[in-house]
Structure 1
């Protein structure tokens, strides 16, 4: 069986910054492999292109430039938000919630869900970074296709979102 649209692909990989020798970003091993429905925009398009047509057991090694991955960092994605936005039912947000390093789910323009990283907490506002954590970083993947299977009807009807 080959990697193609509507197949579930199961892979392991090492993700590093820029090259195989770059700083390790993520390891996905056989104990908890990554699986996704191929051809349904669940991963970066260039990632899918690199795996299209290969078979189980295929070992891969490829890079993705930042502009082809999660884009360059955008200065305008770092915003200052009044602390009152974080109030819940009139109660001020807890100090535990508003801590540097916390990632909070927010709602952006046109009700689009987005995650924001708190990078600074001021007396009356919070500075958040809405860039993707991998924005501005060249990526390098090394791994193996450990399984390919037919998608279930549920997976196909939900675009593979489990």
Structure 2
């Protein structure tokens, strides 16, 4: 069934149960719970910066965002 939130975003739900005083709707994406397989290509490899090594993670091209 088509639904809309208070901000005007549209999404779909699936009615899973109807009772006399309640309806249960599943709002999960249709692919929820399904195995997903991704393929990717490594385009570039670079050494970690000293800051990344000290923090234990990569910061990426846009810098560090408080992680």
TM range (shorter): 0.3 to 0.5
TM-score (norm 2): 0.47
TM-score (norm 1): 0.21
**1 or 2 for the larger relative contact order (CA 8 Å, sep ≥6)?**
1
- Larger-gyration structure (1/2): 2
